[in-house]
Amino acid sequence: MSDVAIGLTGLGGILVLLALRVPIAIALTSVSVVGIWALLGERPALGSLRTIPYQFTAHWSLTAIPMFLLMGAVAFRAGIVSSLYAAARLWLCRLPGGLAIASNFACAGFAAASGSSVATASAMGRIAVPEMLRYRYDPGLATGVVAAAGTLGSLIPPSILMILYGTFSESSIGRLMIAGILPGILTAGIYAVMIWLRCLASPELAPRVDIRPSWRERFAVLAEVWPMPLLILGVIGGLYGGLVTATEAGALGAFFALAIAALTRRLNWRVFVDSLVDTIHGTAVIFFVSIGAVLLSRFIALSGLPNFVVDYFGAAGLEGYYVVLFCGLIFLFLGMFLDPIGLMLIALPVLLPMIQHSGFDLIWFGILTIKFVEIGLITPPVGLSVYTIKTVLGDQVQLTSIFRGITWFLICELLVVVLLVIFPQIALYLPGLMH
C-alpha cells in the first residue's frame, strides 16, 4: 500500500470511528499514531505520541483559550448576559418581530464575550426563547434565531476557533480576530432585516408585544448593560490598537470580567468556582481534540496526501474560486456530522495546502472557514447549535420546529458567504488598518 493510500485509509478510518460515536479526540489520536506506525515504524510513532502533545500545548498563543473561556464563563455566571437581553428587549420590542431581533443582537453581544457558539446558544436559549414563546411567537422563529445567532460566537472576536485556525495556519491571531468584526456585524444585520421583513409580511409569526416602556425606563436599563460593551471594547480596542497581543487580550478580558463582576457586586465564591470549573472543562475538551488534530496533521503530511490533493486538482484544472467552492462543500458536508472544533481541525491539514497553492489570503480564508463551520452548526441532521437549544428547552419545542425555523437563517448565511467571496475587503479592511 502506498503512503497516499495509507493517508486516505486513515481519514476513512476516522470517519468510521466517529460514526460509531468514538470520542473525537480518541479517534484522531489512535488513527494518527497507527498511521505514523504504518508509514515509519514503531519508534517514530511512539516518539510522536511523546513529544507532539507537549510541543502543542506549550504553544504560548494557546494560553488565550482558557482566558477567553474564563471571561465568557464569568460574564454568564454573573448575570451580565441577562441584562443585555433585557435592554435589547425594551429598545426593540415595538418593532415587528422585536423580541426576535432583540435576541439576535443580544446573542451577538454575548458571543463577543464568550467566544463560544455553544455557550452563546445555551445561555440565550434559557433567557430569550421562553420569553418569546410566552408572547406566542412562532416556535420555529423563536428557536431558530437563537440557534443561528448563537453561532456568531465563532466569528465575533474573541473566538476560540480563530485561535486554533491561526495556530494551525501560522496566521496572525490578532488580525484574524479583527477580521471577524465586520462579517459578524454584517451577519447579525442581515438576520435582523430578514426577521423584520418576515414578521412584517406575516404578523402571525410574532404578535405585537404589549409593552410600552417609557424613554426613562429605556435609558435606565442601559445603566445595567455598561459592563458588556466595556468588556468587548476593552478586548477589541486593545487588539486593534496594538496595545496587547491576542494572548494578552485573553488575560485582559478575564481580568476585566472579574473586575466588572466584583464592581457590580455580582461576583461571589459560587460564581467564581463555577466559572473556573466551566473553564477547566472547556479547556480540557479543546486541548484533547487539538492534540489529536496535531497528530493527524503530522500523519497526513508524512503520507504526502496534501501534495497529492494539490497535484490532482491542479491536473484536473481546479483552481481559483473553484478551490474555495470545493473547500466550502467539504466543510458543509462534514459539518452535518462533526462538532465545529473537530470539523475544522480534521479538514485544515488537507485543505490549507490547496488554499496556499492557489495564492489566497489566509486571513480571508480563515473568516470563510469560520462561516462554513457556523453553517455546519445549524445544518441537519446534526446541527450542534440546534441540539443545544433542544437540550435547553426539553419538550417545550419539537426538534423539527427548530430545523424548520433555521432554514431562513441558512439562506442568510449563504448570502453572507457570497458577499465575502465577491468583496473580500469586508474581512480584510480592518486588519489592513492595523499596525
Rounded CA separation 235/412 (Å): 28
Per-residue pLDDT band for 82 (boundaries 50, 70, 90) equals: low
Compute the chain's Rg from CA coordinates: 22
Please give the helix or strand (H or E) that residue 245 lies within, else none: none
Q: Please state whether 155 falls in left (phi above 0), alpha (psi between -120 and 50) or beta.
A: alpha
pTM comes to 0.79
User: Which of 129-143, 338-352, 367-381 shows the lowest per-residue confidence on average (mean pLDDT)?
Assistant: 338-352
Q: What is the mean pLDDT of residues 307-335?
A: 74
151/374 Cα distance (integer angstroms):
5
pLDDT at res. 22: 84
Q: Is the pLDDT of residue 180 over 70?
A: yes
Question: Residue 435: what pLDDT?
Answer: 58
Q: How many CB atoms lie within 10 A of CB 344?
A: 27
Tell me the C-alpha distance between 148 and 159, whole Å: 16
Summarised one tens digit per residue, pLDDT across range 133-163 is 888 889 999 999 988 988 887 888 878 888 8
Handedness of CA 87, 91, 93, 96 (dihedral sign): negative
Give the phi and the psi of residue 138 in degrees, each rounded to 5.
Answer: -60, 130
**Joined grid coordinates for residue 390:** 433542544
Residue spans per domain, the chain:
61-433
CA distance 2 to 307: 14
The whole-angstrom separation of Cα 62 and Cα 59 is: 6
| Reported confidence tier of residue 333, pLDDT bands at 50, 70, 90 | confident
> Long-range contacts made by residues 86-93, C-beta under 8 angstroms, separation at least 24?
86/221, 86/224, 86/225, 87/221, 87/222, 87/224, 87/225, 89/131, 89/211, 90/211, 90/213, 90/217, 90/218, 90/221, 91/218, 93/209, 93/211, 93/213
